[in-house]
């Protein structure tokens, strides 16, 4: 399984990551704003991905992510270091995304519409590897169908699947961010994967 630097399984590297974050936070609170960039770089991809699952619009997701980091910056003195920083940040991201959806009444994009932005393609980028266990993984059509199937999932499943499999959050962390019991988290992930398998099978 690919390890994310954000959520390492190794306990010592996890502690090191938390120490790094706490050090950066202390520097920011001490007046060194530039230290906040370390935190932004660490979390920009997970946060943008997470928000994209709600908004389904690339540029809008970037704008909202930027707003999330701004909010986190201004509220940094209220962050309690007894808790995990990532959980706190995801909570801000979740609330901001939901508020934004309510305010702007965003029109969700059709899944048939190509998700491109000026000069780049987005979404899943499966790494090509010679040791790939399945020939289908190398198949571009399969990848396209798969990402469409993910987009078609109900929001509650898509959110937890993104957090678990793309952002590599633990079940407990997802439960705390979404404020649902851990059993519900697992249930949604497994149910989402069932739906995903069925939809991928239908499409192929």
Partner 1 sequence: MDCICTELNVILYIEKELPETEMLQMEQHFAHCAHCRHLLAQHRMVRLTLERASGIQVPADFSARVMAGLPSPYHRFLTTAREKIIAAAAAIVMVSLGVFTYLIGSLGQNFGSPLSLQWWNRVLVQTFTLAVDTFIVISDLVGILVSVALFLGQGLAFVMETLGRLLLYSPHGLATLCLSLAIFLASLSLTKRYGHARTLRTAQPGRQQR
List the interface residues with partner 1, window 155-194 (CB under 8 A).
161-162, 165-167, 170, 172-173, 176-177, 179, 186, 190, 193-194
- Region 59-78 residues binding partner 1, contact defined as CB under 8 A: 61-62, 65-66, 69-70, 73, 76-78
Q: Rule CB under 8 A: say whether 52 interacts with partner 1.
A: yes
Q: Is the four-CA dihedral 116, 117, 120, 122 of positive or negative sign?
A: negative
Convert residues 116-135 into a mask of x (bound to partner 1 by CB under 8 A) and - (unbound).
----x-xxxxxx-----xx-
Q: Rule CB under 8 A: say whether 106 interacts with partner 1.
A: no
Residue closer to partner 1 by CB (options 46, 96) is: 46
Q: How far apart are CA 134 and CA 30, in angstroms?
A: 51
Residue closer to partner 1 by CB (options 71, 101) is: 71
Q: Is the four-CA dihedral 109, 127, 86, 25 of positive or negative sign?
A: negative
Tell me the closest approach of the beta carbon of residue 103 to partner 1, in angstroms.
19
Q: Integer distance in angstroms from the first to the last C-alpha of the chain? A: 25
- β-pairing, 116-117 vs 120-121, is antiparallel
Q: Helix (H, G, I), strand (E, B), or coil: what is residue 117?
A: strand
């Amino acid at each position: 399984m690919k390890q994310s630097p954000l959520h390492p399984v190794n306990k010592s590297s996890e502690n090191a990551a938390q120490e790094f974050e706490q050090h950066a936070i202390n520097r920011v609170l001490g007046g060194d704003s530039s230290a906040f960039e370390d935190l932004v770089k660490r979390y920009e991809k997970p946060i943008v991905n997470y928000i994209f699952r709600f908004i389904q619009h690339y540029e809008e997701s970037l704008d909202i992510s930027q707003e999330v980091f701004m909010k986190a910056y201004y509220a940094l003195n209220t962050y309690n270091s007894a808790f995990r920083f990532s959980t706190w940040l995801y909570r801000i991201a979740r609330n901001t995304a939901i508020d934004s959806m309510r305010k702007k009444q965003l029109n969700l994009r059709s899944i048939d519409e190509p998700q491109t932005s000026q000069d780049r393609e987005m979404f899943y980028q499966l790494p090509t590897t010679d040791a790939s266990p399945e020939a289908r993984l190398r198949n571009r059509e399969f990848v396209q169908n798969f990402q469409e199937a993910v987009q078609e999932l109900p929001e509650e499943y898509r959110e937890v699947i993104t957090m678990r499999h793309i952002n590599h959050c633990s079940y407990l962390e997802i439960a705390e961010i979404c404020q649902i019991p851990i059993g519900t988290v697992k249930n949604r992930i497994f149910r989402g994967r069932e739906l995903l398998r069925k939809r991928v099978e239908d499409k192929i």
